[in-house]
Homo-oligomer: A and B are copies of this chain.
């Protein structure tokens, strides 16, 4: 089974990469974009998704400053 973990900076946490993108867009003619946040995408193949949350909390994300969301192959949200 394929799973995707979407990791983003918690709201309120500074996101310099997102700010850089947001500032660069108008210079390229994209003027209607706001609220850019840049995070990480982790894709993995695994047999048993029940331990995904534990995996996220222990290795894949930093729960102090990041939120995450798990999407399983079928598009179901856990």
Chain A residues near B (Cβ < 8 Å): 4, 6-8, 18, 21, 24-25, 28, 30, 32-48, 51, 54-55, 58-60, 75
Contact = CB atoms under 8 A, between A and B. Distances in A.
A75 B36 CA distance: 18
**Number of copies of this kind of chain in the complex:** 2
B21 A42 contact: yes
A55 B25 CA distance: 8
A34 B46 contact: yes
Given A25-B55, A59-B21, A59-B24, A43 B37 contact: yes
A38 B36 contact: no
27 contacts: A4-B6, A7-B41, A8-B41, A8-B43, A18-B42, A21-B42, A28-B55, A28-B58, A30-B55, A30-B59, A32-B47, A32-B48, A33-B44, A33-B55, A34-B46, A35-B45, A36-B42, A36-B43, A36-B45, A37-B42, A37-B43, A38-B41, A39-B40, A39-B42, A40-B40, A40-B41, A75-B75
